[in-house]
Structure 1
Amino acid sequence: MIKNDVITIGLIGLGGMANAHRKMVSELEQLHLGALCDVNQELLKQIGDEEGISQEKRFHDMEALIADPDVNAVISIVPNNLHAEVLRLCIQYQKPVMAEKPFTLNFAEAEELALLYEKQPILCMVGFSYRYVPSFRYAKKIVEENKLGTIRHIAVRYLQSFGAPLFEVPYAWRFNKEVTGTGALGDLGAHMIDSARFFVGEFSSVSALMKTFVNERKDEKSGEMKNVDVDDYTSFQAVLENDVIGNFVTTRNAVGSGNQHEVTIYGDYGTIHVNCERPDEIDVCMKDEPGEKLVFKTEKVSEIYQKNQLQDFADLVKNNQQKGTPTFYDGYQNQKVIERIIQSAETGKTVTID
């Protein structure tokens, strides 16, 4: 039961990205952080003290947090191999959840969840955060208003550099297939897939290439070299809804790139380009007046396109779902496309997405 119109949030997983979610929760009056869960006792104590969470609301077991009647909704920031279990428990206890991407470790898990969800649906949002970048939201409006005319193709890149040999990054869970499922594909490529679905629509087919550049990394604890069994690089071509052609590249070995997720959309009337590293700008090439030379111009994006991602989650929990909120279905479809990309890379063939 939601008290005084305020949703009590239980946060599972306190590392890394959890800090961004804590900040977003603090910015919304409708949300209150009331419970925490992590297996790291020191981290649980530290964050619990910072947030003023009582001892009885600091959990080591995520099922206990999800089952807690005082928790109205769950935000899950856990490694990929736990994504499906969190969703399964939330379905079991009928708790609204904001889950991170990729949706699951693999598509088999996604299919199992879909069967449970059909019998006992819950309010579920998936953390495709780039839908909330102002420039991406403005680009979506341009597309919806048909200012680009018929869209012919879309180019999407998501480049990071942290995995390059230059930085000697040690072995971690992100390089272990049993924990992460895939490498760059699930970590970064899931966002590329969602951006294409957000702007254009569903995928029809994919033709992919996946590659591991750094085959071994040193384990900091043992000093031993461990095998890397996930991709450092994935590229694929795709046919999307209405025969839109897509080109996609993601890698964690692009020296010089920070967090470079960018999308270019080409239509009959013009082209637009967005980059998450420039969230308040959009590059536009459209003919406005007769005789005007077609060149790219950079426009500032209005503040009206700014939105806290968790505002949509709060609205979802209150049964006021907003247009464009990424839901269970979006997570499921995303995981299906990831599965077909892997199949294509393994077989060397184009794979249809049913």
Structure 2
Amino acid sequence: MIRSKVVSVGLIGLGGMSNFYFGNISQINPLQVSAICDTNQELLNNIGQREGISQDKRFIHIEEIIASPDVDAIISVVPNNLHAKILELCILHQKPILAEKPFTLNFEEAKNLNKLYKRNPIPCMVGFIHRYTPSFQYAKKLIEENIIGQIRYIDVRYQQSFGAPLFNVSYLWRFNKEVTGTGALGDLGAHMIDSARFFVGEFHSVSALMETFVDKRKDPITGEPRHIDVDDFTSFHAVLGNGVVGNFVTTRNAIGSSNQHEVTLYGDFGTIHVNIERPNEIDIYVRGETEEIPVLKSERVPEIYDKTILGDFAELIINKQNQDMPIFEDGYKNQKVIDCIITSAEKGCFVKVDSQEVLWEKVKSISG
């Protein structure tokens, strides 16, 4: 059981995602946001005043809030190029952290962090929030109960529409490779990778395709077009644990898809389908005792599967429990798969994840 002690949380990054944490953390005993950090002084003061956070608990510099003796734990909601730095500082100052995904900007950063973490581990969670969707939690239980038998194939999609030319979205940090690392792959694809690992197991090999549909967007400051160097679309095939094969597609250019992350698991005896846009429902194709063939059954998810990432973060800090939580290792392995997907797309080859070995090249260069 979680003790009644208050865990003083420092929130780094006051952009749009911070509203999710401000809106939900008050419901989680014993977490309490007591300090905030952002480089935008006006935003810092406005939110500090709104949330009743005193002036001395409003920080401009990241290391100061992490090092503060009045801060017990950190929640980080910042652009991708700051992820590794904040994780490193939390390890050095031994502060528990809930960090955003993707884990780091690239796998080199992830490898360096992993070495540091192994010497000085801390309670660490990564924000793979979609595994906390009630239908995902329930599906995990049904899989463990062998309801659909051995899983043979998993189909995972994560599609949004905001990047399509129809909406004429201006240039922003998510389109800048130096800040974000990748486009749809790191933003949405990281969740697909986590969902597959959550349901099925580890990735063994990948074969990928990455495309940029909109290669220029207008700079909102200068009005001039800026080149886009990250992906709008990524698809990949994979082989996972127990020989499960997977098909994955992600894009931010799918008109009609608001926030459509869905997973379909095909087993020997049936199929399970979940979608975050229907968080409390699950589709199951199984054969009942009186049926000759499987039939579709849409079920309401029992309330016991409604848990939150913030609740688990509190549990990890106080009771050190981490069963099925997205912890440091999950972030590290996720980033490794992302790196293999990029390598596969760039080289036109299958890549083995464990060793990052090229298994088969589609095109071989011929030197004179």
What is the TM-score of this pair, normalised by structure 1?
0.98
The amino acid that maps onto 1:21 is Y
Cα offsets for 1:61-91 (capped at 9, x unmatched)? 0100000001000000000000000000001
Q: Check the 8 A contact 2:155/2:246 in 1, yes or no.
A: yes
Cα offsets for 1:293-329 (capped at 9, x unmatched)? 4221211111111112101000111133141011100
Tell me whether 213-222 or 296-305 shows the greater mean CA deviation.
296-305
Q: Which residue of 2 aligns with 1:225?
A: 225
Aligned counterparts of 1:223 and 1:124: Cα–Cα separation in 2: 41
Q: Which residue of 2 aligns with 1:156?
A: 156
Q: Which residue of 1 aligns with 2:285?
A: 285
Q: Check the 8 A contact 1:24/1:309 in 2, yes or no.
A: no
Aligned counterparts of 2:290 and 2:208: Cα–Cα separation in 1: 42
Q: Which residue of 2 aligns with 1:172?
A: 172
Q: Check the 8 A contact 1:24/1:308 in 2, yes or no.
A: no
Stretches of structure 2 lacking an aligned partner (at least 5 in a row): 355-368
Count residues in correspondence.
353
For the pair 1:127 / 2:127, whether they are aligned, the reply is: yes
Q: How far has the Cα of 1:21 moved from its partner?
A: 1.1
The amino acid that maps onto 2:45 is K
The root-mean-square deviation of aligned C-alpha atoms, in Å, is 1.2
Q: What SS does the corresponding residue of 2:349 show, helix, strand or coil?
A: coil
Q: Which residue of 1 aligns with 2:362?
A: none
Q: What SS does the corresponding residue of 2:319 show, helix, strand or coil?
A: coil
Q: Which residue of 2 aligns with 1:208?
A: 208
Q: Which residue of 2 aligns with 1:195?
A: 195
Q: Which residue of 2 aligns with 1:107?
A: 107
Cα offsets for 1:129-177 (capped at 9, x unmatched)? 0111000000000011111111000000000000000000000000000
Q: Which residue of 2 aligns with 1:66?
A: 66
Aligned counterparts of 1:216 and 1:233: Cα–Cα separation in 2: 15
Aligned counterparts of 1:133 and 1:182: Cα–Cα separation in 2: 25
Counterparts of 1:1-354 in structure 2 under 5 Å?
Answer: 5-354=5-354
Tell me whether 297-306 or 65-74 shows the greater mean CA deviation.
297-306
Q: How far has the Cα of 1:24 moved from its partner?
A: 1.8
Aligned counterparts of 1:25 and 1:280: Cα–Cα separation in 2: 21
Cα offsets for 1:6-56 (capped at 9, x unmatched)? 100000001011100112211112111100000111211111111100000
Q: Check the 8 A contact 2:4/2:29 in 1, yes or no.
A: no
Aligned counterparts of 2:294 and 2:287: Cα–Cα separation in 1: 6
Q: Check the 8 A contact 1:96/1:123 in 2, yes or no.
A: yes
Aligned counterparts of 1:216 and 1:285: Cα–Cα separation in 2: 44
Aligned counterparts of 2:46 and 2:94: Cα–Cα separation in 1: 29
Q: What SS does the corresponding residue of 1:191 show, helix, strand or coil?
A: helix
Q: What SS does the corresponding residue of 1:253 show, helix, strand or coil?
A: coil
Aligned counterparts of 1:4 and 1:290: Cα–Cα separation in 2: 51
Q: Check the 8 A contact 2:3/2:30 in 1, yes or no.
A: no
Tell me whether 82-91 or 290-299 shows the greater mean CA deviation.
290-299
Q: How far has the Cα of 1:4 moved from its partner?
A: 5.6
Aligned counterparts of 1:248 and 1:306: Cα–Cα separation in 2: 26
What is the TM-score of this pair, normalised by structure 2?
0.94
Q: Check the 8 A contact 2:4/2:30 in 1, yes or no.
A: no
Aligned counterparts of 1:16 and 1:296: Cα–Cα separation in 2: 38
Aligned counterparts of 2:203 and 2:23: Cα–Cα separation in 1: 34
Q: What SS does the corresponding residue of 1:140 show, helix, strand or coil?
A: helix
Aligned counterparts of 1:3 and 1:259: Cα–Cα separation in 2: 36
Identical aligned residues as a percent: 65
Q: What SS does the corresponding residue of 2:43 show, helix, strand or coil?
A: helix
Aligned counterparts of 2:291 and 2:273: Cα–Cα separation in 1: 23
